[in-house]
Amino acid sequence: MRECGSPVVRVTDVRKRYNRQWALDGIDLVVERGELYGVIGPDGSGKSSLLKAIAGVQTFDGGSIEVCGLPLASEREAERIKPKVGFLPQGLGASLYQELSVEENIDCFADLRSVPPDMTAERKAWLLHVTRLERFRDRPTKHLSGGMKQKLGLICALIHEPELVILDEPTTGIDPVSRQDLWSMLSALLHEKGMTALVSTSYMDEAERFHRLSFLSNGKVLIAGTPEAVRTSVEGAVAAFETTAPAVAVARLRQTFEQVETAGRSVRVFVGIGDREEARRSVEAVAGDLVGSPIAVEEPELEDIVVSLLARSGAKEQPPGEATGRGAPSDPEEVAMQANGLTRDFGNFRAVDGVSFRVRQGEVFGLLGANGAGKTTVIKMLTGLLAPTAGTGLVAGVDMKTAAGSIRERIGYVSQAFSLYLDLTVVENIRFFAGIYGLDRRTAAERGREIVVLAGLSGHESSLAGRLPMGLRQRLALGCALVHAPRVLFLDEPTAGVDPLGRRRFWDLLGMLARERGVAILITTHHLNEAERCDRLALMDAGRIVAEGTPEELKREVRREAGILFEVVVDQPSRAAACLQQGGFPNVSLYGATVRLLCGHPDDDLSRLRRELADRGIRVTSMRERPLSLEDVFVYRIKTLERQARSSGQPVSA
């Protein structure tokens, strides 16, 4: 429950300029005590600048900021708020000492914050327990996965129990289970410790968890309020149908509608009409004979509204151009890549354990898994960058073990760590990669012009890669990987940190490459709404594939095993989730102001749920069935494997 009293944060007409560019241009914002407040917006909208200014680690050029009742008008005043604030900057482990162990980092930050040893021991024990990092006390930070680093960073930011915790995109680049752990931990801290949290995020599903939020664009607050108020600020509905010609349907629909997406044979259209029947008729009139199933109309998601607001504010990105050049292969069943029992050991640690799968030409194949599951290691083996301990692989018709050079000529690769030279321009990056792949000057120039159009980079040719918005930068990285016209693409978390509009444009480009050019694509991602657009998926855990199939097949299996997903609105969500978990409900998660759970026997389970919560004085406001998402599937699978590991006495990952 939120407490009453003076605001913890008050921002009035704050401005910040970098050279000639306004990063913050008249920002107003108030965060109440005990509130979970969100800051969302596209790349370059000013989120990080705002959070750094509130944390007192960055100056601002105009306006005023008060934190915990103290003004921030000078460096001395900024120092006065430090004991009251915990700050986690953007970037995996950016605030940590990489050579120190987990426990050494915590002790170091506790010492810096002058926390007494007895209080440090007590708080450390609780924080390590709720983050599931107890078993990793002695592990060097540099050997932690991304999710583990973020959880450790949060511990270090919270060890002094601040009044306000400021988190800058804390879940970017970490897997859904670690994301859920972080949000559960944050909700528990707000409920049990009375903290206030100010959080920025690029995940629109996470924005649903905030009490209130501000949506930034070009350094200004475009809209603020509760998630529901933002969602209802734009009139509209979403119409969806299946078709045998998705590429043709998208091209036709985009002549009338701004937001059109595909996922396999499904097409999803945002219509700026509130009346559902009218929205259905308008889509049917444009799509015509391409509609292959009854058109379903539903309420828009928050991401649909955010993209619409971005479009209205003028923050449009140039869409990808038409695919030209090589066409699709004559045989769509041709195998583009195949893994057979791939295994990789690092000393006594087995990172990949007998992985097998195949990907056809023109197919988008998603490789999902928690941080440290082995996804990147699989990609490195298939691209010839890492020799397997055992197993074989074929990529673009050649054996990865014996033809590493041949493989590199036939594939494109956008790695998780390095893709571009940020101090080179768009054109210079393309020319550089063309040279690496051995293209002559004339071919390189021709391919460069095509890549600029294909990736929607026209007008940015002379821009430095480091100054591009993240969405455009990733499209440039993809363009550089395509400069030699490969038949196979490997993409390792290419959209981490990219805003919703940028991600949609990136996936438009991937869909065009797969459908029109027949390029085979293997991609890893932690944005599981993106994974819905893959043709097939494989879920990895502890180096093994534990589930494989189309998105709908994976959802169907979970529904068969665990039942229907329900969302329960209660007056004490954190306490309700804890009570239900203790009461024997195995698949319970906290989701903002609601609790979600899977029910195998809905009538009996929901009746028992009401009794359990009523006995503890928790009021249930409403319950409704929700469609399963791939994130629900992912979390269910990993949590089930963790329970099985615990019951057999095996270690559980963090």
CATH of the domain at 28: 3.40.50.300
Query: From the centroid of its chain, how far is CA 292?
Result: 31
Tens of pLDDT, residue by residue over 589-608, are 877 668 889 999 999 999 99
In a domain, 267, yes or no: yes
In a domain, 517, yes or no: yes
Q: Is 157 left (phi over 0), alpha (psi -120 to 50) or beta?
A: alpha
Report the Cα–Cα distance between both ends of the chain, in Å, rounded: 29
In a domain, 492, yes or no: yes
One domain for residues 562 and 516: no
pLDDT for 3 equals 43
Q: Where are the alpha helices (DSSP H) in 233-361?
A: 246-253, 276-287, 302-312
Element at 459 (helix H, strand E): none
One domain for residues 527 and 429: yes
Q: Are 611 and 510 in contact (CB under 8 A)?
A: no
pLDDT for 312 equals 74
One domain for residues 148 and 270: no
Q: Are 93 and 149 in contact (CB under 8 A)?
A: yes
Q: Which two tokens stand for residue 644?
A: 């099985």
**CA pair distance 102, 96, nearest whole angstrom:** 9
Q: Which two tokens stand for residue 245?
A: 């010609």
One domain for residues 423 and 563: no
Q: Are 366 and 537 in contact (CB under 8 A)?
A: yes
pLDDT for 178 equals 80
Global confidence as pTM: 0.82
Tens of pLDDT, residue by residue over 170-189, are 887 777 888 887 887 788 77
Q: Which residues contact 603 (CB under 8 A, 6 or more apart)?
A: none
One domain for residues 493 and 624: no
In a domain, 323, yes or no: no
One domain for residues 358 and 482: yes
Which residues are bridge partners to 29 per DSSP? 11
In a domain, 310, yes or no: no
**CA pair distance 496, 523, nearest whole angstrom:** 12
**CA pair distance 429, 474, nearest whole angstrom:** 12
**CA pair distance 272, 234, nearest whole angstrom:** 8
Which residues are bridge partners to 199 per DSSP? 38, 167
| CA distances (Å), origin 138, targets 99, 133, 135, 141, 536 | 11, 10, 8, 9, 39
In a domain, 4, yes or no: no
Which residues are bridge partners to 87 per DSSP? 166
**CA pair distance 310, 303, nearest whole angstrom:** 10
**CA pair distance 514, 510, nearest whole angstrom:** 6
One domain for residues 545 and 559: no
pLDDT for 561 equals 93
Last residue of a domain, one of 199, 224, 249: 224
**CA pair distance 493, 506, nearest whole angstrom:** 12
Closest residue by Cα to residue 638 from 574, 547, 556: 547
One domain for residues 180 and 258: no
Last residue of a domain, one of 205, 224, 243: 224
In a domain, 126, yes or no: yes
One domain for residues 392 and 485: yes
Q: Which two tokens stand for residue 583?
A: 């009461």
Q: Based on the structure, what is the number of domains in the chain? A: 4
Closest residue by Cα to residue 340 from 395, 396, 385, 408: 395
CATH code for position 634:
3.30.70
pLDDT for 319 equals 55
One domain for residues 394 and 517: yes
One domain for residues 427 and 574: no
One domain for residues 394 and 514: yes
Last residue of a domain, one of 181, 199, 224: 224
Q: Using only C-alpha atoms, what is the Rg of the chain?
A: 25
Could you say which residues of the chain have pLDDT below 70?
Answer: 1-5, 313-332, 403-406, 416-418, 592-593, 649-654
Burial 113-136 (b: 16+ CB within 10 A, else e): bebeeeebeebbeebbebbbbeeb
What is the domain extent for residue 587? 553-647
**CA pair distance 334, 332, nearest whole angstrom:** 5
